[in-house]
Amino acid sequence: MPLSDSDAAYRRFLPWQRTVEVGFWVLLLGSNFIGNSLTTLMEIRRHPSDTLSWEPMVWEASSGLVWLLALLPAIAWFTRRFPLHWDNWRQRMPWYLLASVAVSLLHVAGMVALRMLVYRWQGMQYDFGPWGREFLYEYLKDIRSFASIVVMMEGYRFVLRRWQGEASLLDAPDEGPPVEPVELPERFLVRKLGREFLVAANDIEWIQASGNYVNLRVRQHDYPLRSTIAGIETKLDPRRFARVHRSYLVNLDQVASIEPLDTGDARLHLKDGTTLPCSRRYRAGLRGRVGASAVDSSA
């Protein structure tokens, strides 16, 4: 099956994905560091001040390093673990407000600690000021930064899912009976940038849990579907799909062989050459359900 231009571009992007993501934040924070440092230096030179020329750079660098090395990874984890959607934003908003306070506390504590170290190295003392007043001032800035980062991360993930192709369950019609079962759907709707198409449930080769999504593997493509692995298991035909691991479901027709391991677990070899883990709790039940050609093999 030939790849479309969008699919080919996505495949070329994948090896560079981590570099692009890290590079974006380094470039953003770096430009912020340069811009704010220069602006503060201009203000210092415009008006008499005891502030030394290197101090604004230390202020901005300490803040940027805390965001880059500690807070951005933490926010990325938090937003993956508790993503915001139109149907849950009211329930999630209090948690995000608490997270913004925690982020600001870590930001202030981290940058003040770095500044104190640099000032001590220079034989000086850094004075942050009254913590209550100064923290409120920093929080009012940090909550805007936190909100902007969340919006950028969620927006990026949305575009990435649509570029990859995001799957969803078919909705029941507003009027009349559905043309196919809703509880055990025969097809899934996939939305990609600029087009939509249907994927037959029986064409799914295997499914992997990925945070608040599961990835449907169909002919070397992964289509994320917003669901838990347990939730999608109830939507698939149990005669065709089986749970083989806490993070995996497999289409039984795709299993070529089962390789036992010394630990009691097993390794599944699929017809396309893919290998998947099989936990010992699922192995015994799986042997009785796969075809005769997929018996335990000793590799």
Q: Is residue 101 located within the same domain as residue 193?
A: no
pLDDT in tens, 286-298: 877 765 445 555 4
User: CATH number, domain at 265?
Assistant: 2.40.50.1020
Considering only CA atoms, which of 224, 176, 216 is closest in space to residue 200? Answer: 216
User: Mean pLDDT over residues 216-242, rounded?
Assistant: 92
Domain identity same for 157 and 240: no
Domain that holds residue 21: 5-164
Question: Is residue 35, in this structure, part of any structural domain at all?
Answer: yes
Q: Do residues 288 and 147 share a domain?
A: no
Count structural domains, the chain.
Answer: 2
pLDDT band at 72 (very low <50, low <70, confident <90, very high): very high
pLDDT digits (tens, 9 = 90+) for 242-278: 999 999 999 999 999 888 888 889 999 999 899 999 9
Rounded to 5 degrees, what angle do the CA atoms 116, 119, 122 make?
Answer: 150
pLDDT of 179 above 70:
no
In a domain, residue 121? The reply is yes
Distance, in Å, from the CA atom of 121 to the CA atom of 125, rounded to the nearest integer, reads 9
Does 27 share its domain with 142? Answer: yes
Q: Quick one: pLDDT at residue 54? A: 92
Q: Tell me the helix, strand and coil percentages in the chain, rounded to 5.
A: 55, 20, 30
Phi, psi of 295 (to 5 degrees): -75, 165
Same domain? For 242 and 140 the reply is: no
What integer pLDDT is reported at residue 74 of this predicted model?
A: 97
pTM: 0.82
Q: Is the pLDDT of residue 174 over 80?
A: no
Q: Note whether 145 and 221 are same-domain residues.
A: no
As a whole number, mean pLDDT of residues 111-132 equals 93
Q: Strands 195-200 and 206-210, how do they pair?
A: unpaired
125/208 same-domain check? no
- Mean pLDDT computed over every residue of the chain: 89
- Same structural domain, 151 and 249: no
Domain match, 95 and 212 both: no
Residue 112: is its pLDDT beyond 50?
yes
> Are 119 and 217 within one domain?
no
Q: Does some domain include residue 140?
A: yes
User: In the listed set 130, 164, 198, which residue is the last one of a domain according to the structure?
Assistant: 164
Does some domain include residue 299?
no
Q: CA end-to-end span of the chain, whole Å? A: 32
